[in-house]
Amino acid sequence: MTRTTAWSVVLLTLALSACATATHYKAAGPGEEYGYSSQKLEDNRYRITFKGNSRTDRETVQNYLLYRAAELALEQNADYFIAVGRDTDRRTRETTHYTGVGLSPFVFGIGLGGGTTTSSSDEYSAFGEITLHSGAKPSDNPNAYDARQIKANLESDIRRKP
């Protein structure tokens, strides 16, 4: 491989990786790894998840989970929801990048060299179970959330695919 070709490959790889963006707020469709999913467990109980890529920070993943809970509550004509269980997982991926190989002929032999770098990235997944309720949110339950207020307060942080 010529030196020009090698540099072209490196520059193309860098350009494509710069295009990667954080996970948008969307449903994770069939075969898609990132986004939200919801599963009805009982009449008023749901399991919800949101999985972000390595460009999506922990706070965003947690906000998207809360936003999805509020959205689901309103879709089901509920006024508030209670988080009966909630957690966030972090998965760290380590990747080794080969930075290049050099070949140089000398009078008494051939010199060969190369290099690698290792980088790590974190992916966050948030999941929880909620129960849906109508009426006034109980003020004495810190796990109760007003669906309309959550949706309104987080709306400006939601990034949808253009």
Average pLDDT over residues 74-80: 98
Q: Decide: 119 and 94 in contact? Cβ < 8 Å.
A: yes
The pTM score is 0.74
In which band, very low, low, confident or very high, does the pLDDT at 10 lie, cut at 50, 70 and 90?
very low
For residues 7-21, give the mean pLDDT.
50
Arithmetic mean of pLDDT, 108-124 = 71
Segment 130-141 mean pLDDT: 97
Q: Is 128 helix (H, G, I), strand (E, B) or coil?
A: strand
Q: Which residue has the higher pLDDT, 126 or 87?
A: 126
User: Does residue 72 contact residue 145 with C-beta atoms inside 8 Å?
Assistant: no
Banded model confidence at residue 48, pLDDT cuts 50, 70, 90:
very high
pLDDT over 70 (residue 102) = no
Angle at 43 between CA 48 and CA 132, to 5 degrees: 60
Q: Given a cut of 70, is residue 145 above it in pLDDT?
A: yes
- The pLDDT, as a whole number, for residue 93 is 78
Give residues with Cβ within 8 angstroms of 120, minimum separation 6.
92, 93, 94, 95
Residue 101 confidence (pLDDT) above 90: no
